[in-house]
């Protein structure tokens, strides 16, 4: 038996805004929404893998969450990274949708990356492998 990833989380300051950004802009699709009082258990998935790893849009209401996120943003550190086939094409598509990038496509040798603001308190990285592993 081996461990495998099932659900990963990104802490967001507003689940409705996050759902709109992660679906309408980034292109994920909503997988699960279970109301839990003022918030929901809310996940999205890649349209290419509807039964794959879910991304939980987790409320950042814990007292440590917002200072942690703010420190990462101030230092320019992405909270997580998403794989893409072509960083330049995704950069152009997302820029055309009004997404703000803090780092344009940058070739780092084995990977090309770009960093964007998710409008919910996080920086996200998109990454394209340039070598096979």
H or E stretch including 122?
Answer: none
Edge-to-edge, what's the strand order for the sheet holding 111-117?
80-83, 123-129, 111-117, 101-107
Domain membership flag for residue 23: yes
* pTM, entire model: 0.93
pLDDT one-digit tens code per residue, 88-131: 999 999 999 999 999 999 999 999 999 999 999 999 999 999 98
Domain membership flag for residue 2: no
Comparing C-alpha atoms, which of 110, 73, 101 is closest to residue 126? 101
**Total of domains in the chain:** 1
pLDDT one-digit tens code per residue, 24-71: 999 999 999 999 999 999 999 999 999 999 999 999 999 999 999 999
- Residue 49: give the domain boundaries: 7-129
CATH for 97: 3.10.180.10
Domain membership flag for residue 1: no
H or E stretch including 28?
Answer: none
């Amino acid at each position: 038996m081996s461990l495998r990833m099932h659900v990963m989380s990104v802490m967001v300051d507003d689940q409705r805004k996050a759902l709109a950004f992660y679906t309408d802009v980034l292109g994920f699709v909503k997988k699960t929404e279970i109301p839990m009082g003022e918030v929901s258990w809310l996940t999205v998935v890649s349209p290419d893998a509807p039964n794959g790893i879910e991304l939980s849009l987790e409320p950042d209401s814990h007292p440590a969450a917002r200072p942690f996120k703010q420190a990462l943003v101030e230092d320019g550190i992405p909270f997580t990274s998403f794989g893409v086939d072509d960083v330049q094409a995704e950069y152009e598509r997302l820029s055309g949708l009004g997404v703000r990038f803090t780092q344009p496509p940058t070739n780092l040798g084995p990977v090309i990356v770009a960093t964007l603001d998710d409008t919910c308190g996080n920086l996200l990285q998109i990454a394209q492998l340039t070598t096979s592993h």
